[in-house]
Structure 1
């Protein structure tokens, strides 16, 4: 595969987010091919959205890392985790928030707290 620029990866991932289902095998192949966990925040955000949407449990560490390192961009992702009605995803959101709430700006922390509790 040819190496893609970050903007191209964002477009690819946005297109994949429109797909109703993706297999774990496809997601794993994407992760391995494009090293998505090592890309910029925009790419990693879309990657995390795919992980959450398709409940790709093998990559939950990427979601956790994103929520810890990119708190401002993570607010939307907290919402996605909570509306999924998946207990593991909701637990992941609560655990990450407890670990990072003190580092978040006050308004973002309040928005996330309102979603989680």
Structure 2
């Protein structure tokens, strides 16, 4: 698996954090020593870096999802952590799904847009900007299902993006 992550040619820039060395490290660092249970901010850092990649193979995304159980992060989150940290993990994961057109995980985007309307506004924009008919259809379907639960301002912003 480590080779697969390094295949993407990804590197994390040195950051002033307590959990990362101050030098450049490969994404493989996160799986090198069995680091499959990361803190939310570590997962966000990893996902944000992967968002900078021009392309990621579906196999890499599948491995990422399986390794970090990204499809279960909302249900399995540590109750000690604030909910918004896990929402941010899910949001970044959904951004990766959209950017790389990872169709087998579109249901996770749909669930996020229905459960986290306030944080989902940006994702609606990403779905529409992609100019991918399937992603645009997903955005419209999710909005129709969620618009009644959205606050008026968010619903108005999303409606303007979609129509």
Q: Shorter-chain TM-score: which interval?
A: over 0.9
How many residue pairs match? The answer is 117
Q: Distance in 2 between matches of 1:13 and 1:70?
A: 19
1:84-103 map, 5 Å: 84-103=130-149
Match of 1:48 among 85, 94, 100: 94
What secondary structure is seen at the aligned counterpart in 2 of 1:31? helix
C-alpha deviation, 1:55, in angstroms: 0.2
State the match for 1:31 in structure 2: 65
Question: Which ranges of structure 1 fall in alignment gaps of 5 or more residues?
Answer: none
Structure 2 length-normalised TM: 0.71
Q: With CA pairs under 8 Å and 6+ residues apart, which has the higher RCO, 1 or 2? A: 1
2:82 match? none
Give the deviation of 1:38 after TM superposition. 2.1
Query: Is the helix fraction higher in 1 or 2?
Result: 1
Q: Provide TM-score, normalisation by structure 1.
A: 0.98
Unaligned runs of 5+ in 2: 1-33, 74-85
SS class of match (1:111): helix
- Deviation, 1:71, is 0.4
- Residue 156 (structure 2) aligned to one of 91, 105, 110: 110
Query: Which of the two has higher C-alpha Rg?
Result: 2
